[in-house]
């Protein structure tokens, strides 16, 4: 029931509210917790993390990170529209110096305001650079998603 009725709405929220502020993120997580308690007929005092694990789901912030990392992977590997690919630049293309820590990493744009932290070009590049090297060099989308689910 959760997979067919509830999960599509949370996946949609994950895409739309990917860079929401802390207050809205907490409200969405509380909604997921309530739904999980209702489906399993658990009391309000029951720990939400254990209930969500029983359903075999992830918390919404983890889902948002996996979806964002997947979208960056798709845009870098030509599986997304070209305008998304143009948002990212390889770190090795920015500098003429050969550095050790540029293998598969993206250049993070400079910020002028805190509002810019929510942009996909910044938050996606920041998240991509935090992934392990073997995950960034995954051969297929399925391999990448499986690795992301283990990493997060």
Phi, psi of 90 (to 5 degrees): -65, 140
pLDDT band at 129 (very low <50, low <70, confident <90, very high): very high
Measured CA to CA in angstroms, residue 37 lies from 27, 61, 62, 99 at distances of 15, 18, 19, 50
Measured CA to CA in angstroms, residue 123 lies from 12, 18, 20, 75 at distances of 19, 10, 12, 14
Q: Is the pTM of this model over 0.85?
A: no
If you average pLDDT over residues 40-54, what whole number do you get?
Answer: 86
- Looking at the predicted structure, is the pLDDT value of residue 53 above 70? yes
Model pLDDT for residues 62-100, shown as the tens digit of each residue: 888 998 899 999 999 999 988 888 899 888 787 777 777
pLDDT band at 111 (very low <50, low <70, confident <90, very high): confident
For residue 124, what are the contacts with CB-CB under 8 A and spacing of at least 6? 68, 69, 71, 72, 75, 87, 88, 106
């Amino acid at each position: 029931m959760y997979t067919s009725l509830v999960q599509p709405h949370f996946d949609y929220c994950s895409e739309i509210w990917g860079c929401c502020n802390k207050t809205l993120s907490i409200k969405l997580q509380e909604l997921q917790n309530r739904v999980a308690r209702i489906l399993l007929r658990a009391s309000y005092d029951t720990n939400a993390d254990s209930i969500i694990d029983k359903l075999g789901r992830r918390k919404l912030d983890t889902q948002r990170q996996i979806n964002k990392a997947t979208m960056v992977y798709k845009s870098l590997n030509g599986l997304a529209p070209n305008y998304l690919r143009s948002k990212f630049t390889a770190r090795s293309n920015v500098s003429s110096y050969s550095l050790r820590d540029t293998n598969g990493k993206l250049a993070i744009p400079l910020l002028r305001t805190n509002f810019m932290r929510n942009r996909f070009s910044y938050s996606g590049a920041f998240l991509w650079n935090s992934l392990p090297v073997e995950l960034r060099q995954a051969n297929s989308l399925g391999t990448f998603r499986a690795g992301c689910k283990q990493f997060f």
